[in-house]
Amino acid sequence: MTTAFIVGAMGAGQSTRRGDRRARGMLDGRRRPAAQEVRMFTTSLILALLLAPTDGPRFEAPVRLQAQDGFIRVEAPGYAAPCLFDVDKDGHADLVVGQFSGGKLKLYRGLGEGKFAPGEWLMADGEVAQVPGVW
Give pLDDT, residue 49. Answer: 45
pLDDT of residue 125 exceeding 90, the answer is yes
Four-CA torsion 126, 129, 130, 132, nearest 10 degrees: 70
When comparing pLDDT for 72 and 55, which is higher?
A: 72
Residue 109 has pLDDT above 90, yes or no: yes
pLDDT of 56-68, one tens digit each? 777 888 888 889 9
pLDDT of residue 24: 61
**Considering the chain, what percentage of its residues have pLDDT values greater than 70?**
57
Question: What is the pLDDT at residue 16?
Answer: 42
Question: Mean pLDDT over residues 89-95, rounded?
Answer: 94
> 2 and 54 in contact (C-beta within 8 Å)?
yes
| 48 has a pLDDT exceeding 50 | no
Position 106: which residue type? K
Which pLDDT does position 55 carry in this prediction?
76
Domain boundaries, the chain: 3-53, 66-128
Average pLDDT for the chain: 71
Question: What is the pTM (predicted TM-score) of this model?
Answer: 0.54
Q: Among 93, 105, 108, 92, which Cα is nearest to 131's? A: 105
